[in-house]
Amino acid sequence: MLYPPIEPYRQGTLDTGDGHQIYWELCGNPQGKPAVFLHGGPGSGCSPVHRQLFDPQRYNVLLFDQRGCGRSQPHASLENNTTWHLVSDIERLRTEVMGAEKWLVFGGSWGSTLALAYAETHVSHVSELVLRGIFGLRRAEIQWFYQEGASWLFPDRWEEYLAPIPESERGDLVAAYHKRLTGDDPAEQLRAAKAWSKWEDSTITLLPSPRHQQSHAADRAALAFARIENHYFVNAGFMEEGQLIRDAHKLRGVRGTIVQGRYDVCTPARTAWDLHRAWPEADFHLVPDAGHAFDEPGTLARLIGATDAYAR
């Protein structure tokens, strides 16, 4: 279902002015419909396969690695790294690199969080939203996946997630991981990063996927992913509780598509349903045979269907 692999026709870096260099690339047709792809994590970075979600003849797509991850520098940096720094980066990329008045915004998982934060802030510059695996970054969502909830479905994987944390600190696992991921011991940092990353990578698909389980296997990828993701979660996404669903009324004039796996353990369907209720104008797809990953067949078909439809 994916479009054939393509290479960027232009790439570069954005100097944020506060210590970060953001890698970006443009793909597809320079005269095509403007779009931006927002990757997950936070802290994952973009992959070449993400370019294949858009018809290269009809779209001009900007992809970028968010602060501290992928090809952006400095690596795994938490300084000046918040949701609102990223929203500002997206807006600068729109004006300084893409030069578009409006563009389609595509985001999955944390990318859906960032897409909502951007769209609710700059709604006049959003033509459409395509969102997958909806994550509102509410306290209950963090608690479900990182404290208690998903552990009932994956007790074997949960034991590996618990392993770096002493029993005396397991009452707040996100805080306990934060202590280690930002500590002075590189070996302890890496051990925590590997365990944090493996927990998510091994639970995101409905059926086991060795490829997904290796997504952040490399030391460098695991460290950026775990440090940045945990930093955002400790700080509640730098947002008020429930802010994104509360402010979804601002999207009423924007066309949109919401795609959610019924058996998504990482970002359970409750949040997608809450967004659907708050923004009923968007098309809503609850995929009956999918978990969290974007490339599970039922989810991917609806995502490609959405980008194809909006290209017309």
Catalytic residues: 109, 264, 292
Residue type at position 38 = L
Q: Are 121 and 221 in contact (CB under 8 A)?
A: no
- Interaxial angle between packed helices 186-201 and 155-162, expressed in degrees from 0 to 180 and rounded to the nearest 10: 170
Q: At a CB cut-off of 8 Å and minimum separation 6, what does 1 contact?
A: 297, 300, 301, 304
The three-state secondary structure class of 33 is strand
Distance CA 276, CA 194 (A): 34
What does the alpha-carbon distance between residue 258 and residue 131 come to, in Å, rounded to a whole number?
5
Please report which residue ranges of 152-296 form alpha helices under DSSP H: 155-162, 173-181, 186-201, 210-213, 219-234, 243-246, 269-278
The residue type found at 123 is V
5 DSSP 8-state letter: P
- Maximum alpha-carbon separation in the chain: 58
DSSP 150-177: GGGT-HHHHHHHHTTS-GGGTTSHHHHH
